[in-house]
A = this chain, B = another copy of it.
Amino acid sequence: MKLLEDRILKDGKIGAGNVLKVDCFVNHQIDVPFMNDVTKEFYRLYKDEKVTKIVTIEASGIGIACLTAAHFGVPVVFAKKTPTNNISGDVYTAQVYSYTHERNYTIRISKEFLSPTDRVLIIDDFLAKGSSLTALLSLVNEAGATVVGAGIIIEKTYQDGGKIVRDMGIRVESLAKIRSMDENGIVFE
């Protein structure tokens, strides 16, 4: 998606450890009018899939998921990383390793909000090694719901998360695919 690639080239910063920082429009400050336009692409791609629910993971997935859900007219359920008394009753859980925070999380979704009749679109900001996405898939599968696919803002195709998930037969649509990234700049697929 050229609109998004241009914005990444303009405002993305490559930090220590070859980390792409897009905190000025994706995951700390969220440029809502821009991301509202960007997420319309997820609607275009998945509009015939009879999506009933958007699933994401806190925290940086939530904003993008809500903007996407507004295009579909469906609810969002976000997996939580901490036990909380906001969630009542039984939960589905999965393990995810966060490379950002360098530790394991248990993520959880209340059983109340996913059912076998749901057709789920999973939304997240990044796909790299696939730890979050495979954990979300595991939660949705445990509920017996159907995954229609995943919508990702930025995929790093030089890491293997995308291949792992596509090899599972899951449709993955990434709006910007980064083939390589170093001090010389960013190359998209």
| A positions within 8 Å CB-CB of B | 13, 15-17, 19, 21, 23-25, 27-33, 35-36, 54, 58-60, 62-63, 65-67, 69-70, 73-78, 80, 82, 84-88, 100-101, 109-110, 112-113
Contacts and interface: CB of A to CB of B under 8 A. Distances in A.
A88 B23 CA distance: 8
A188 to B, nearest CB: 21
Contacts of A76: 29-30, 32, 63
State the oligomeric state as a number of copies.
2
B32 A70 contact: yes
Given A59-B59, A75-B31, A101 B113 contact: no
B30 A85 contact: no
A40 to B, nearest CB: 12
A32 B33 CA distance: 17
B66 A28 contact: no
Contacts of A70: 32-33, 36, 67, 70
Contacts of A36: 70
B24 A113 contact: yes
A23 B84 CA distance: 11
A43 to B, nearest CB: 13
A61 B82 CA distance: 16
A128 to B, nearest CB: 13
A15 B84 contact: no
Contacts of A80: 28, 59
Contacts of A87: 23, 28
Contact of A82 (B16, B28, B73, B101): B101
Nearest to A113: B29
Given A21-B86, A62-B66, 13 more contacts: A17-B85, A23-B86, A27-B86, A29-B113, A30-B62, A30-B66, A30-B77, A31-B75, A32-B66, A59-B78, A63-B66, A67-B70, A84-B101
